């Protein structure tokens, strides 16, 4: 269901630096409580989990609930330790996954 993803992460960071990561994804986040145009309740359709992995380790995890608005935006921080891949995984309520990854270069100083 996720069609468009925006990720903001610096390409380079100093060792030990705390970096900010922002994500924005397109998703209706239908709560399952709203009546649709025909008057019937629109079935729930939400993202359930978001996981961020850095150097193959889980560094940030989040569970979503129906009260979150459409197109959820996130901002969180990680500490840059060494160069490697930062992986972003969204898992919706049907266990469908959407994965994106970005490479982070860490300069030793």
Distances (CA, A) of 50 to 12, 99, 105, 107: 23, 10, 23, 28
| Segment holding 89, helix H or strand E | strand 84-92
77 touching other proteins, by CB under 8 A: no
Distances (CA, A) of 101 to 5, 90, 104: 11, 12, 10
Q: Which residue in the set 15, 22, 61, 77 belongs to the binding site for other proteins (CB under 8 A)?
A: 22
User: Of 37-45, 66-74, 79-87, 98-106, which segment contacts other proteins by CB under 8 A?
Assistant: 66-74
71 touching other proteins, by CB under 8 A: yes
6 touching other proteins, by CB under 8 A: yes
What tokens appear for 26 in the block?
A: 């397109």
- Asked if 60 and 82 touch (Cβ cutoff 8 Å), the reply is no
- Asked if 89 and 99 touch (Cβ cutoff 8 Å), the reply is yes
89 touching other proteins, by CB under 8 A: no
Question: Least distance (Å) from other proteins to the CB of residue 2?
Answer: 10
How many amino acids of this chain bind other proteins (CB under 8 A)? 14
Which stretches of the chain bind other proteins, using CB under 8 A?
3-4, 6, 8, 22, 24-26, 28-29, 69-71, 73
């Amino acid at each position: 269901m996720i069609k468009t993803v925006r990720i903001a992460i610096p390409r380079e960071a100093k060792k030990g630096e705390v970096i900010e990561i922002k994500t924005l994804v397109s998703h209706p986040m239908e709560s399952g409580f709203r009546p649709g145009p025909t008057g019937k309740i629109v079935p729930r359709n939400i993202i359930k989990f978001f996981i961020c992995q850095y150097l193959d380790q889980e560094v940030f995890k989040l569970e979503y609930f129906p009260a979150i608005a459409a197109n959820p935006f996130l901002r969180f921080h990680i500490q840059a330790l060494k160069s490697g891949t930062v992986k972003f995984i969204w898992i919706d309520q049907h266990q469908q996954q959407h994965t994106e990854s970005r490479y982070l270069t860490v300069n030793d100083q």
